[in-house]
Amino acid sequence: MTNVAITGAAGRMGQTLVAAIAEHPDIRLTAAIEREGNDALGTDVGVIAGTGRNGVIITDDLAAAVSSFDVLIDFTAATATPRHIEICREHRKKMVIGTTGMSQEQVAALREAGRDIAIVYASNYSVGVNATFKLVEMAAQILGDGYDVEIIEAHHRHKIDAPSGTALSLGEAVCKALGRNLPDVATHGREGITGERDRASIGFHALRGGEIVGEHTVIFASAGERLEITHRAQSRMNFATGAVRAAAFVAGQETGVFDMQDVLGLNK
């Protein structure tokens, strides 16, 4: 049995993770963490998540809870995750990280922590999205440089980073197939007199509104045809289920940084 803690436990993703863990036979929730001052502090996290009392009380002190868990699942924010990594590294606790919007320096620190602990770090934990990454890479390999590539993503109005981490990963999949460097070719939106499109560029367009869980479309367009590969998330549960699957995977690793392609055996 693997003991798991959740940060951001009272948030929408945190509550979904609580529900997903409750359905897993080999994962047990033993700690729930929220930020200081959160209204849910002191409350049974099962009550917050609507799964019924489970005896896990929400606290604001991750360091004090380290003895109670083996793996931390962290879907919080770039302002919080680096500190969580430091604590887990110090106490040799494994991690599943779904936080997006981290800087290059923060990601570098995450990868450095992988020298001491095992971490699964992915932009998206949906099994369907990870299949989409592979499909997009295959399409780019088949179509080659003769097609313009545009990526459109849509999320709820509360999302704080753009483009989404998943959209960037889709761009990386295209670049991997075509031998491009994403920072050199990414174009984020267009306005004014932009001139003719650079054939090597990859366009990113972010929509925000309502309660859209997550939608991503990669468009390959040529003079004579257009291929579109789309993934639409209808519930956060698919992300949570994948994250719990990643927790079971990382529990069996010693050190290193892995992604969902590793969890699903797609990197073999």
Strands (E) located in 13-116: 27-33, 58-59, 71-74, 94-97
Cis upstream peptide for 163 (omega within 30°): yes
Counting runs of H as helices and runs of E as strands, what totals does the chain give? 9, 12
From 84, 93, 94, 155, the catalytic residue: 155
**DSSP state at residue 236:** T
* 8 A C-beta contact, residue 58 and residue 30: no
| Distance separating alpha carbons of residues 266 and 36, to the nearest angstrom | 39
205 tagged catalytic: no
Q: Which residues pair with 151 in a beta bridge?
A: 204, 218
From 24, 91, 159, 176, the catalytic residue: 159
Q: H or E segment at 104? A: helix 104-113
Q: H or E segment at 92? A: none
94 tagged catalytic: no
DSSP of 187-210: EE---S---SPPTT-EEEEEEE-T
Other beta carbons within 10 angstroms of residue 35's beta carbon come to 16
Phi, psi of 219, rounded to the nearest 5 degrees: -110, 125
Catalytic residues: 155, 159
